[in-house]
Structure 1
Amino acid sequence: MGKRDRDDRLSSLPDDILVNILDRLNARDAARTSILSRRWSQLSSKLSQLIINARDFLPEGLSSDNMSGDDLVRVNAAAVEATKSLLTRRNPGEHTIRLLSTAFYLRDDVPISVGHAVGNAMATHKVEKAEFTVLTEKQHLQCTLDDTVNYGAQFVSFFNECLDAFSGLTRLYLENLTFAESDMVSNILVACKQLKYLGFLNCETESWMTLQVEHAQLSELSFVDCCFGEVELKWLPRLSRVKFVIWRVYKDLPLSFGHVPLLEAVTLVNVALSWHKMVKLSTLLSETSVQELHLGFKCEKIWVQPERLTKRQASAFQRLRIVNLDCIPEGYDLTWTMFILEAAPSLEEFYMTVMDHPCEMEMNKRRRRKASYSKRKGVEWESPTPNFVHHHLTKLIIFCFESSMVSHVRRVIKAAVNLKDVYLYDRLTCHNCEHLERLKPNTFPLSKKHRCSMRALLTQGLHSHARIRFLSIDGIHDEHADMILF
């Protein structure tokens, strides 16, 4: 009797509330509710969000890292069936699809089946956002050149067969593809006229030529470990965010900005070798109005060139509000980071992570020499205005703080006269590094007495009202956690 009462209570809710509940489920669970009753079957045809991810159909206890070829075929087939089932039971034009997101593996005819289903939905329903996440059977680091060439050919066939679906996409993510045609990326941009986000992981063209990117709608671009030749963001009037990660085969950063009037956030990450040229940020950002800058060094050589700026060069930094320097190698002078503070008068938040990752780094000395890793990773810089004053910085956040950084923190506190908060975090936890011996002992102040003495040392002789906090990673603030790139 109690169970029936609970069922009646749920059934008494109006349709719009039940649909809202179903919208919060993944496609697999939402589709299952259709068997409960005729009413529930009708409700699933009114969903405003259809998020269908092949990985959601994995059996319990199985992950995408350890599934077999047969498992992949099964989950892919389930994703196709869910896509068709959820779309075919809808009445054309009756309910708007606010989000139609599909993630599937590039295998057999599954992409084409999904593409046709999505294309038909676009023709018969109002679809506000449509997304393709195209996955490959092998992970990035497992792929050979033959694998990526094969995946690239499969994607091209899928693309050519489903142009109607691609023309309505607002988000497209691609991984592990080698394109035989150098203009394939341009073809994608031409076909996907509604695209807002475009992301590539481990993608390239066989002949590296200059890629000139022009698109009226794109607001976010991501290139991770890709080889497309020089990437010129030539005309992107709505672009707001760019991520460019790893350019290991190029001496110079193969990225330049043209007409990007709304660009706000730039993320650059590289494992710099001895022959990589330093990047002058004033040159790269000279035609932009960037407000957030995220730079990652992967525990290797600092690849940013500290600059003594002319008035014209300084314009590139005028609107910077947030700077995040990630995975700065341990054991080197941090004075060079002050050039950013001096160059960016509007800077409000300054993040730094100083940490070595043995799990990611090449530790073998012979292999390091052979691959031309730098022996010295730091960079020297002396401020032309050692007594400069900064008026807008309010937050300094350092992850993996060590006692050796005291002088640098004092330098920032002295310069930033309106600094309000200094967050000094203990060493970050890397699960892959946990079983490895630390390269250096941890000198973070753990005891209350040690913290009090270090706090006094940080502010001795300085007239600052900044509140200094020593925090463990367990107590990390949400907004700070979002800034950790690794």
Structure 2
Amino acid sequence: MGKDLDDRLSNLPDDILLTILDRLNVRDAARTAVLSTRWSKLPAMLSRLIINVWDFRPPDVSEFREDEFAQTNAAAIEATKSMLERRDSTRNRIHQLSVTFFLRESDPISIGHTVAQTMATHKVGMAEFIVLTKKEPIGCDERDLIDYGQQFMLFFDACPDAFAGITRLHLENLRFGESDISNVLVTCKQLKDLRFLNCDSEGVTTLQMEHSQLSELSIVDCRLGKVMLNWLPQLTRMTFEGWIAFHYALSVVYAPLLEVVNLTNVGLSWHKMIELSKFLRGTSVRDLKLGFKSEKIWVQPECLTKSLSSVFCQLRFLNLDDIPEGYNLTWTLFVLKAAPSLKELWMTVWDHLCKMETDEKRRAVSYSENKGVEWESSALDFQHRSLATLTIFGFESEEYMVSYVRGVMEAAVNLEEVFLYHRLTCGKCRANPNTLKRIRYPWTKRQRSSVKKRITDGVDSFAIIHFPTGSVRGDHIAKKKVPVVFSF
């Protein structure tokens, strides 16, 4: 039976067999070479080569010892060389080449030279380096950042041909010198996706970014001073999260195609409020996420001005994430007033206790105890004709939320649906329910009927109000990327 099955598989055309192998990681795909002479040739013909160091770690190992780091990296390097050096340069274009590895001694240089040779002799579509460090971001101190930064620049300087051809570069836990990031941008001429996690730049107060091809940029928990997007004509997506230089840490000079923006930060008591009309000047965003991590609202509600209208004139989707619980939500309507084309308004109201600072550190770093913000009530008298959907995660039948939903339904005259979910949870929440505060959610039919009446009494709206229980709708999961809804 096994032999018959093997024979039937082996008789399939190459393109079908390669499609099957493309669904495996490189390590498992390479193992199929021992099945037969026919199969032995296939791994060298794959169009997608995803070589990830984590696929080579010893079984049942969660934390690496130093020797296991060396062995795992070595296995990834050997796989990279084996798969690339055996390829026939006249056949089978490489559509995707992704290599994930640890920044360790001379290992990256070996990978870089192999990838550069492949680029010189093969047609390669997308090429990606994901450069990891042995320490996680939370465990890195200043000395680690300096050491990792020096190691990366040695790698970069030794492999200019590889970096000249890569299209995606993901870096973590590095300290850059004054001109290092500029040199990376100049050398990586084909770069389309650049991501920094927990990086900083010594002595650099302003990071000037210019690149003709870059379309995605992610800067998370970095200390890079002010980031100026001077000339990024192809940039369409940007994540800017956890910035340190708080007031106007971002300046968009020229990024005319920028459509999807994620801005997330922790607002402390001494931080100045940010006016989005200045923070996002030079863009016409269509999809905007503002994240507050359950702390102080750092956005300054603005009255409708020409500059504010120009920023939000094309906005279609607004996601307000981790708004602190118990505070007036009316301030969020200033974006609705400034964005006449907005179709969907989503928000998550959540005191996420398993991630928030709740001990003496709150006082030490000046977390704000008053997290709310107000907007002039005189600005509430307006109509919005495009909003079709309002979705709230973390709804409770308290007056501040009920009155907010009423306000949206009164303003959005063509509103079609309102989804009011219970609070979300993460894995830590489910493991320790003590981190969850009780909220009043209308679980029963009678409770839902009562809340609907409070919301709609005197409101002229045809919108349908939903109270989803048990799980999040599939299309909502895809759009918001949320975990399952917690139920008591």
The interval holding the TM-score normalised by the smaller chain is over 0.9
Partner of 2:19: 20
Q: TM-score, normalised by structure 1?
A: 0.96
User: SS where residue 239 of structure 2 aligns?
Assistant: strand
Partner of 1:395: 389
Task: Check whether the contact 1:425–1:473 (CA below 8 A) recurs between aligned residues.
Answer: no
User: SS where residue 374 of structure 1 aligns?
Assistant: coil
Task: Check whether the contact 1:299–1:361 (CA below 8 A) recurs between aligned residues.
Answer: yes
Partner of 1:417: 413
Distance 1:209 1:422 in 2: 45
Q: What are the residue-to-residue correspondences of 1:62-141 with 2, within 5 Å?
A: 62-63=61-62, 66-141=63-138
Partner of 1:54: 53
Partner of 2:469: 472
In the alignment, structure 1 residue 369 sits paired with structure 2 residue 366: no
Pick from 333, 338, 346 the counterpart of residue 341 of structure 2: 346
Pick from 280, 283, 288 the counterpart of residue 285 of structure 1: 280
- Deviation for aligned residue 1:313: 3.1
- Deviation for aligned residue 1:481: 4.8
In structure 1, runs of 5+ residues without a counterpart are: none
Counterpart residue type for residue 133 of structure 1: I
- Deviation for aligned residue 1:443: 0.8
Partner of 1:150: 147
State the superposition RMSD in angstroms: 1.5
Task: Check whether the contact 1:330–1:354 (CA below 8 A) recurs between aligned residues.
Answer: yes
Distance 1:477 1:407 in 2: 28
Partner of 2:214: 218
- Deviation for aligned residue 1:5: 1.8
Distance 1:449 1:10 in 2: 59
Distance 2:382 2:477 in 1: 27
- Deviation for aligned residue 1:439: 5.9
Task: Check whether the contact 1:426–1:473 (CA below 8 A) recurs between aligned residues.
Answer: no
User: SS where residue 98 of structure 1 aligns?
Assistant: strand
Partner of 1:162: 159
Distance 2:481 2:47 in 1: 33
Task: Check whether the contact 1:326–1:353 (CA below 8 A) recurs between aligned residues.
Answer: yes
Q: TM-score, normalised by structure 2?
A: 0.95
Distance 1:270 1:112 in 2: 36
- Deviation for aligned residue 1:305: 0.2
Q: % of aligned pairs identical? A: 55
Q: What are the residue-to-residue correspondences of 1:149-298 with 2, within 5 Å?
A: 149-179=146-176, 181-248=177-244, 250-298=245-293
In structure 2, runs of 5+ residues without a counterpart are: 484-488
Change (3 A) 1:400 1:257: same
Change (3 A) 1:215 1:266: same
Distance 2:482 2:279 in 1: 21
Deviations, residues 61-106 of structure 1 (Å, cap 9, x unaligned): 333xx22222221211111011011111111232200000000000
User: SS where residue 147 of structure 1 aligns?
Assistant: helix
Partner of 1:7: 6
Change (3 A) 1:245 1:473: farther
Task: Check whether the contact 1:274–1:374 (CA below 8 A) recurs between aligned residues.
Answer: yes
Task: Check whether the contact 1:427–1:473 (CA below 8 A) recurs between aligned residues.
Answer: no
Pick from 304, 320, 323 the counterpart of residue 328 of structure 1: 323
Task: Check whether the contact 2:10–2:38 (CA below 8 A) recurs between aligned residues.
Answer: no
Distance 1:71 1:93 in 2: 37
Counterpart residue type for residue 337 of structure 1: T
Change (3 A) 1:378 1:70: same
Pick from 378, 388, 406 the counterpart of residue 372 of structure 2: 378
In the alignment, structure 1 residue 35 sits paired with structure 2 residue 34: yes
Distance 1:484 1:369 in 2: 33
Distance 2:225 2:334 in 1: 30
Change (3 A) 1:253 1:286: closer
User: SS where residue 366 of structure 2 aligns?
Assistant: coil
User: SS where residue 381 of structure 2 aligns?
Assistant: coil
Distance 1:473 1:173 in 2: 37
Identify which range, 140-149 or 446-455, moves more after superposition: 446-455
Task: Check whether the contact 1:44–1:86 (CA below 8 A) recurs between aligned residues.
Answer: yes
User: SS where residue 304 of structure 1 aligns?
Assistant: coil
Deviations, residues 292-330 of structure 1 (Å, cap 9, x unaligned): 111100111000000012234322111110111101011
Identify which range, 133-142 or 69-78, moves more after superposition: 69-78
Counterpart residue type for residue 168 of structure 2: R
Task: Check whether the contact 2:49–2:98 (CA below 8 A) recurs between aligned residues.
Answer: yes
Distance 2:134 2:470 in 1: 35
Distance 1:74 1:420 in 2: 57
Runs of 4 or more consecutive aligned structure 1 residues displaced over 6 Å after TM superposition: none
- How many pairs are equivalent? 480
Identify which range, 214-223 or 439-448, moves more after superposition: 439-448
Task: Check whether the contact 1:93–1:126 (CA below 8 A) recurs between aligned residues.
Answer: no
- Deviation for aligned residue 1:452: 2.3
Task: Check whether the contact 1:231–1:256 (CA below 8 A) recurs between aligned residues.
Answer: yes
Distance 2:470 2:315 in 1: 27
Distance 1:59 1:253 in 2: 46
Distance 2:231 2:120 in 1: 30
Task: Check whether the contact 2:248–2:279 (CA below 8 A) recurs between aligned residues.
Answer: no
Counterpart residue type for residue 97 of structure 1: I
User: SS where residue 94 of structure 2 aligns?
Assistant: coil
Counterpart residue type for residue 308 of structure 1: C
User: SS where residue 403 of structure 1 aligns?
Assistant: coil
Counterpart residue type for residue 387 of structure 1: D
- Deviation for aligned residue 1:485: 7.5
Distance 2:481 2:8 in 1: 44
- Deviation for aligned residue 1:257: 0.3
- Deviation for aligned residue 1:455: 2.1
Change (3 A) 1:473 1:275: farther
Counterpart residue type for residue 145 of structure 2: T
User: SS where residue 433 of structure 1 aligns?
Assistant: helix
Distance 1:210 1:284 in 2: 15
Distance 2:307 2:158 in 1: 50
Partner of 2:486: none
Task: Check whether the contact 1:182–1:209 (CA below 8 A) recurs between aligned residues.
Answer: no
Counterpart residue type for residue 345 of structure 1: P
